[in-house]
Amino acid sequence: MRIGIDVGGTNTDAVLMDGTKVISSTKSPTTQNVSEGITKALKTIIEATQLDVSKLDGVMIGTTHFTNAVVERRRLTPTACIRLGLPATVCLPPMVDWPDDLAETIGRNYYLAHGGHEFDGREISAFDPDEIRGIAEQIKAKGLNAIAISSVFSPVNAVFEEKTAEIVKEVIPDANITLSSTIGRIGLLERENAAIMNACLRELAVKTVSGFKQALRDMNITAPFFISQNDGTLMNADFAADYPVLTFASGPTNSMRGAAFLSGLKDAIVVDVGGTTTDVGVLQQGFPRVAAMAVDIGGVRTNFRMPDTLSIGLGGGSLVEAEPLKVGPQSVGYELITKAKVFGGDTLTTTDIIVAAGHEDIGDKSKVSDVDAVFAKAVEDRIEEMVNVAVDRMKTSATAMPVIVVGGGSILIQRKVEGASEMIKPEHFAVANAIGAAIAQVGGETDRIFALAEMSREEALEQAKREATERAVSAGAKAETVEIVDVEEVPLAYLPGNATRIMVKAVGDLAGA
Q: Check residue 266 for interaction with other proteins (CB under 8 A).
A: no
Q: Which of these segments, 207-215, 229-237, 367-375, 499-507, binds other proteins (CB under 8 A)?
A: 499-507
Q: At what angle do helices 159-171 and 129-141 cross, to 10 degrees?
A: 50
Report the alpha-carbon distance of residue 140 to residue 134 in Å, rounded.
Answer: 10
Q: Which of 7, 102, 189, 413 binds other proteins (CB under 8 A)?
A: 189
Q: Check residue 495 for interaction with other proteins (CB under 8 A).
A: yes
Q: Identify the H or E element spanning 137.
A: helix 129-141
Q: How far is the CB of 140 from other proteins (least distance, A)?
A: 28
How far is CA 225 from its chain centroid? 17
Q: Identify the H or E element spanning 506.
A: strand 499-508
Q: Check residue 126 for interaction with other proteins (CB under 8 A).
A: no
Question: Binding marks (x or -) toward other proteins, 152..171, rule CB under 8 A?
Answer: xx------------------
CB 245 within 8 A of CB 230: no
Residue numbers 268-297 binding other proteins by CB under 8 A: 282, 289, 292-294
Q: Which of 74, 377, 393, 466 binds other proteins (CB under 8 A)?
A: 393
Report the alpha-carbon distance of residue 332 to residue 338 in Å, rounded.
Answer: 9
Q: Which of these segments, 61-69, 221-229, 335-343, 392-400, binds other proteins (CB under 8 A)?
A: 392-400
Concatenated DSSP letters for 294-319?
-EEETTEEE----B--EEES--TTEE
Q: How far is the CB of 495 from other proteins (least distance, A)?
A: 5
CB 316 within 8 A of CB 336: yes
Q: Which of 35, 67, 263, 500 binds other proteins (CB under 8 A)?
A: 500
Q: How far is the CB of 92 from other proteins (least distance, A)?
A: 5
C-alpha distances in Å from residue 232, one per residue of 286, 330, 362: 10, 30, 33
Q: Check residue 122 for interaction with other proteins (CB under 8 A).
A: yes
Question: Binding marks (x or -) toward other proteins, 70..109, rule CB under 8 A?
Answer: ---------------xxxxxxxxx--xx------------
Which residue, among 259, 277, 252, has the nearest Cα to 412 in the 3D structure?
277
Q: Which of 149, 237, 449, 460 binds other proteins (CB under 8 A)?
A: 449
The SS3 call for residue 40 is helix
Rg, Å, the chain Cα set: 24
109 vs 228, which CB is nearer to other proteins? 109
HSE value, Cβ hemisphere, 13 Å, CA-based, for 280? 20
One-letter amino acid at 120 equals D
Reading across the β-sheet that carries 441-451, which strands appear in turn? 21-29, 11-18, 2-7, 58-63, 225-228, 233-236, 441-451, 499-508, 483-491
Q: Which of 341, 367, 501, 505 binds other proteins (CB under 8 A)?
A: 501
Q: Check residue 446 for interaction with other proteins (CB under 8 A).
A: no
Q: Which of these segments, 72-80, 204-212, 386-394, 407-415, binds other proteins (CB under 8 A)?
A: 386-394
The SS3 call for residue 420 is strand
Question: Binding marks (x or -) toward other proteins, 339..378, rule CB under 8 A?
Answer: ----------------------------------------
Q: Check residue 120 for interaction with other proteins (CB under 8 A).
A: yes
Q: Which of these segments, 8-16, 434-442, 470-478, 486-494, binds other proteins (CB under 8 A)?
A: 486-494
Question: Binding marks (x or -) toward other proteins, 296..335, rule CB under 8 A?
Answer: -----x------x---------------------------
Q: How far is the CB of 125 from other proteins (least distance, A)?
A: 8
Q: Check residue 421 for interaction with other proteins (CB under 8 A).
A: no
Which residue, among 225, 267, 261, has the nearest Cα to 19 in the 3D structure?
261
Which residues contact residue 262 at a Cβ distance below 8 angstroms, ignoring those fewer than 6 apart?
404, 406, 426, 427, 428, 429, 432, 435
Number of residues that bind other proteins (CB under 8 A): 52
Q: Check residue 485 for interaction with other proteins (CB under 8 A).
A: no
Strands 233-236 and 268-273 turn out to be unpaired
Instruction: Name the site residues for other proteins (rule: CB under 8 A).
Output: 85-93, 96-97, 116, 118-120, 122, 124-125, 152-153, 186-189, 282, 289, 292-294, 301, 308, 392-399, 449, 489-496, 498-501
